[in-house]
Amino acid sequence: MTPDVTLTIAGTRYGGWKSLRCRRSLEEAAGAFELGVSEIWPEQSTPREIRPFDACALSIDGEVVITGAVDAISTGMMARDHYFSVSGRDKSADLVDCSAVHGKGEWRNARLDQIARDLAAANGITVKVEADVGAVFPQWAIQEGETAFACIERAARMRGVLLLPDGAGGLVLGKAGTQRIGTALVLDGEETNVLECVVRNDATQRFQQYIVKGQRAGTDDAYGSAASAMKATASDAGVKRVRTLVVVADDETDLAGLKKRAEWEATVRAARALTVDVTVQGWSHPGGLWRMNRVVPLRAPALRIERDLLIRDVEYSLDRGGTFTRMTLTPVEAYTPQIAPPARKAPRRKRSRDTGAGDVFS
């Protein structure tokens, strides 16, 4: 079957591409692509009128995977051959590239989705909410010089929400692994549909003990070192050597919050140690394209792995060898959100107007 790759710009469809590389990842706010074609000059009747900043949509096997703009083009010659390539990214790339700008740069009593929409509006980017965005932020401010995406990501991290490109040029406030692919990836006998599978277990970022330190405002019940030198621990039973990591909490919290942070470090680091690189022929399974942020069953008994995993990265490629999809899989626990509990404020103290004797809490 002829590969179906189409780049549409201002209603004009450009096909006939000889090479493709398109990547989407949970680690990146925008998908990216590069298309190329090699042509012989006498047969080129119509030039490809494609320029940087042109709005575009990339379709693979009839499904739109990137909606954004052209970043760069390049042309070259070799004897009678003419080479032309074009690269671009999702529209959400503007959030990564551009500085955060919004009024005076601060919000009061705003939820995550409101902050995201206000910042994204400057670049005409829509925001979809597919997860619980949590409580309001009593106060939130843009840090000097940070990008719009960095500002949104700081807030999203505190509410345990992932930022994902939707393929249509927008940003999604979502969770990991909410959808599932019914077709299994199999490297086993006649059912095999995997060309290559590489399992990697990298323990360099795993530790036997995690110590999280933090502080909070003092109260009459908790003051001094009890408020300024709090710590909590968690362990990873899979680490057989004495390895300790000390982490300083980013925000003011309490002992329960420190304990959750320590447990989160142990769980997520253990999960991210396992990655599986899988290559399959073609770009699609019976239900559609292989897509990131989907849970898929993997069966490779010879490599001692049979379990459900999350598609973290997906790359579609086309070259002289044919069409391929390369995926990186990881346990869904690797993207368990770190939800920062709200810090408990110390009770406000005031002098009793009636007796003038001592301090009371209000």
Residue 134, domain extent: 95-174
Burial 236-274 (b: 16+ CB within 10 A, else e): beebeeeeebebebeebbbeebbbbbbbbbbbbbbbbbb
Query: What gap in Å lies between CA 152 and CA 116, rounded to an integer?
Result: 6
Residues 313 and 192 in one domain: yes
Residues 331 and 184 in one domain: yes
251 within domain boundaries: yes
Residues 294 and 266 in one domain: no
Q: In this predicted model, what pLDDT tens digit does every residue of 104-148 receive, in sequence order? A: 999 999 999 999 999 999 999 999 999 999 889 999 999 999 999
231 pLDDT exceeds 70?
A: yes
With bands split at pLDDT 50, 70 and 90, how would you rate the model's confidence at 46?
low
Residues 285 and 264 in one domain: no
Range in 10-24, 221-235, 282-296 the model is least confident about:
221-235
192 within domain boundaries: yes
Number of structural domains found in the chain: 4
The residue type at 185: L
- The helix/strand count (H/E) of the chain reads as 5, 26
Contact 228, 215 (CB under 8 A): yes
Residues 35 and 156 in one domain: no
Residues 149 and 101 in one domain: yes
Instruction: Give pTM, 2 decimals.
Output: 0.84
